[in-house]
Amino acid sequence: MQSILIRLKEDFQLSIITLVGLCSLIGITPYIVFRLLEGNLWVGLVDAFLVVSTGLAVLYAWRTGDTVRPGQFLALIYSAGAVLVSIKLGVNGLFWFYTLILFNFFVVPPLQSAVATVASLIVVCTYGYLNPGLVFESHYQMTSFAVTCLIASLFASVFAYRGRRQREQLIELATLDPLTRAGNRRAMDAELDIAMADYQRHKTAYGLLVLDLDLFKEVNDAHGHKAGDKVLTEFTRIVKLSCRQSDRLFRMGGEEFVLLLPMVDRTGLEQAASHIRGTVAEQLQTPDGPVTVSIGGCMLHQHGNSDEWMHEADQCLYKAKELGRNRYIISPKG
């Protein structure tokens, strides 16, 4: 139960999809019974399809962690369901459109929500216009319905966009170093734990490099912290350009960084360390000359946890420093 609450707290989209599933089960199920008892088999089957499909989408989201495709699927079937129920029930079915608007703008991006909502609205209004009296009692009522839906969609889209943007900013604050835009310590710990689990479950190869700028304190002392910050940001840029897209760079603090390399063997890890060391020495400059980097690394093998893995790489870094800096040492283990 505790793990369920943690996932709901940390994953907003999953919590919304789960809430939709509960609301669907509690809110629509009585209508299924009512429609069937009333003899309205067609609408009852549509409602039942919506409930079952929602349950399957929620289950898929929980099992895979993917909330994008379930959200898009639910937006599609709910839009189609709202159209079919409105056509079948007329005015009594139109009220579901306002629920649909809120739902769409919460579970999928604003543009996709707008397309699904407006397309559904066009279909209902077109059908109502071509079949007077079946959906709307008058053209005036149809116009009022369309205008109010569009206004509600506008407000919902603004709110959804602002909410989505604020969540993205919060995620950045929680996972990125504000100066270098590399991952921070929290993001690193999470990624290392994922790598450990991936290795233990699937034996996926991972390498780890610990990078430390040589004599960085002298840069700060000679040119000030502003110059030091510029060196750090330029170093981050150089390392990222020297890596694969799948590699993840994190700032541990100060001038120390960690690079996580998935799907690499020991030879590949040595090549990466050599390339980074050489590129940094060649491109990272201050008024007093080049800035170099010392690197320690190791492959993930029979480590008990990520701290042991990090410690082994740190020991290699210390040896590189002791042997004169501007060099790399990779652990022979693994």
For the annotated catalytic residues, the residue numbers are 255
The string of DSSP letters for 283-307 reads H-EETTEE--EEEEEEE--S-SSHH
Which element (helix H / strand E) includes 246?
none
| Residues in contact with 13: Cβ distance below 8 Å, sequence separation at least 6, in sequence order | 67, 68, 71, 107
Element (H, E) at 99: helix 96-107
Tokens of 242: 């020297």
Among residues 112, 116, 76, 106, the alpha carbon closest in space to that of 12 is found at: 106
d(CA 332, CA 334): 7
Distance CA 320, CA 276 (A): 15
In this structure, what is the dihedral angle of CA atoms 79, 85, 86, 87, given to the nearest 10 degrees?
Answer: 110
Counting DSSP H helices and E strands in the chain, the numbers are 13, 7
Q: At what angle do helices 96-107 and 12-38 cross, to 10 degrees?
A: 160
Could you tell me if 219 and 286 are in contact, meaning their C-beta atoms sit under 8 angstroms apart? Answer: yes
Does residue 270 contact residue 334 with C-beta atoms inside 8 Å? no
CB–CB of 262/206 below 8 Å?
A: yes
- What's the CA gap between 17 and 15, in Å, rounded? 6
In this structure, what are the phi and psi dihedrals at residue 176, rounded to the nearest 5 degrees? Answer: -115, 145
